[in-house]
Amino acid sequence: MAGILIIIIVVGVIATIGLAFSYYVAFQPNFIYVNTGESVQVGSVKYIIEYIGENNGDEKTRPEHTFIEISIVAENLGERTTYMTGGQFYILDENDDKYQPVYGNFSENDLLNDLLEPNQPVSYTTQFDIPFDENKQYRIGILPTKEQASIDIGIICVTNC
C-alpha cells in the first residue's frame, strides 16, 4: 500500500516538472537579431531601424551625455489597428546597459505613441541619452505591446556591427 502511494507521488512530481518545463519553453522570448536597415518583425509589426546620428536636443531638453537618434519605419501587417509607443524601444551598449528613449519635440516625427493602421507604413524618430563612443557597438531592442501578444524581441545592431 505504501509502495503505491510513493509511486503516485513520484509520478505526480515528474508530471508537474514536465508541465512546468513545457510552459517554460513555450514562453521563452524569441530574440531576432538583424543589422541596421534590415527589417525585423515583432508580433504583427515589421520594423526597419536605422542610425541617424547624434543630436544636441532642443532649447528645453539637453542631453546629459549624447542623444543618439534613430529612424523607425513601422508597418502593421495584422488585420486590426495596433498600438505603438516609444517605450517599446531601448538601446543597449556593449556592456548590455539598457537606456530608455528621451521624449521631446526634437523633430516633427518624434515618437511618443501612435495607432498603427493595417498595411500603412509610418516613419518616426526617437533618441537615447547615452555616454556614446563611436568605436563601440550599440543595439536597439524592440518589445511587443501587450495587445500584440508576442514572445518576439527584435535586436538591431545600429553601430559597429
Q: What is the dihedral of CA 143, 116, 105, 161, to 10 degrees?
A: 40
E-state strands within 1-160: 30-35, 39-42, 45-55, 66-76, 82-85, 89-92, 98-99, 101-102, 113-116, 122-130, 138-142, 152-159
CATH of the structural domain 31-159, one choice from 1.10.150.170, 3.30.365.10, 2.40.160.40, 2.60.40.1240: 2.60.40.1240
The pLDDT, as a whole number, for residue 143 is: 92
Q: Residue 106 in 3-state DSSP?
A: coil
Whether the predicted pLDDT of 6 surpasses 80: yes
Please state the pTM of the whole predicted model: 0.81
Q: pLDDT digits over 9-42, tens only?
A: 888 899 999 888 888 877 888 999 999 999 999 9
Whether the predicted pLDDT of 123 surpasses 90: yes
> Which band of pLDDT confidence, cut at 50, 70 and 90, is reported for residue 97?
very high
Q: pLDDT digits over 33-87, tens only?
A: 999 999 999 989 999 999 999 877 777 888 888 889 999 999 999 999 998 988 8
Would you state the cell numbers that stand for residue 130, as one nine-digit string? 547615452
Q: What are the extents of the domains in the chain? A: 31-159
> Which band of pLDDT confidence, cut at 50, 70 and 90, is reported for residue 102?
confident
Among 73, 68, 81, which Cα is nearest to 41's? Answer: 73
